[in-house]
Structure 1
Amino acid sequence: MLEERDVAGLRAYADELRDTFMRMQREASDLNARAQAIQITEKSLDGLVSATVSVRGELIRLDLDPRVFRRPDARGLADTITDTVRRATARAVEELVKLFEPVIPPEQLRAHLDGDLDTVLDQLSSGMSGEGRRR
């Protein structure tokens, strides 16, 4: 049987979820448009590669300085491109997390984006038990 404290905790969590949902619903279209518009450009450490990615990590643009062809190192160039795109994608994710911070706790959004189901379930469980709720 649920104790009064458990019921109060569940009610508070349900109220918090409802308030968050209502706020998200009001701000959804603006947040969605702003999220879809996120594009990050990152330069390689040597400055010869520039990559622009979307918030989903899709490569939008890749620029190679002609000087990259002075050193015929296909593996090195591929690694530089991969690293540059990876860093741009990480920055895009951080921009997304910052954008949604008013409505979704950063650690919760990161767990969702990372596909970390264990952390997501732990966070939901903590919230339902009244622990660690954010106000």
Structure 2
Amino acid sequence: MEFGSPEAAGMQAYAEELRSMFMRMQDEALDLHKKARAVQVTETSRDGLVSATVGPRGDLVRLDIDPRVYRRPDSRHLADTITETVGRAAAKARERVVEIFEPVIPPEQMAAHIDGDIETVMRQLAERMTGER
């Protein structure tokens, strides 16, 4: 790749963008990190008998089960209800963390990082370096 080529210009532009993003992140990192760590999302099951609260990583913080579940003792249904409710809460918590970091990290890039989707992260990196966005 020679100096002044479109590829070099694309890499230079991406390097500048990364530098700018890094400077913004450095300025805002502690505040954003505090906000992200404080995320808690509560979801209630469709039947209203299960309430689940999760943290920013989707980890279960609190689970409330209404005593009315004993009127219909179906452990499989209860387990499925809990799993589905926690899943919805975790998805909303993930969305909230992506929103918090949106001022400094593009949402699709943050989502890929949270999901551990290294293929998408690497593809986005390559596209940005070559100016293909």
TM-score, shorter chain, exceeding 0.5: yes
Q: Could you list the runs of 5+ residues in structure 1 that have no partner in the other structure?
A: none
Shift of 1:11: 1.1
1:2 matched residue in structure 2? 2
Shift of 1:2: 2.5
Check if 1:77 corresponds to 2:78: yes
Shift of 1:58: 1.1
Whole-Å separation in 2 of the counterparts to 1:85 and 1:11:
44
Shift of 1:3: 5.4
Whole-Å separation in 2 of the counterparts to 1:94 and 1:106:
9
Shift of 1:49: 0.3
Whole-Å separation in 2 of the counterparts to 1:45 and 1:118:
35
Which of structure 1's runs of 4+ aligned residues deviate more than 2 A?
A: none
1:115 matched residue in structure 2? 116
2:102 matched residue in structure 1? 101
Check if 1:25 corresponds to 2:26: yes
Q: Could you list the runs of 5+ residues in structure 2 that have no partner in the other structure?
A: none
Whole-Å separation in 1 of the counterparts to 2:68 and 2:43:
18
Name the Cα RMSD after superposition: 0.9
Which secondary structure state, in structure 2, belongs to the residue aligned with residue 104 of structure 1?
A: coil
Percent of aligned pairs with the same amino acid: 62
Whole-Å separation in 1 of the counterparts to 2:119 and 2:94:
20
Which secondary structure state, in structure 2, belongs to the residue aligned with residue 126 of structure 1?
A: helix
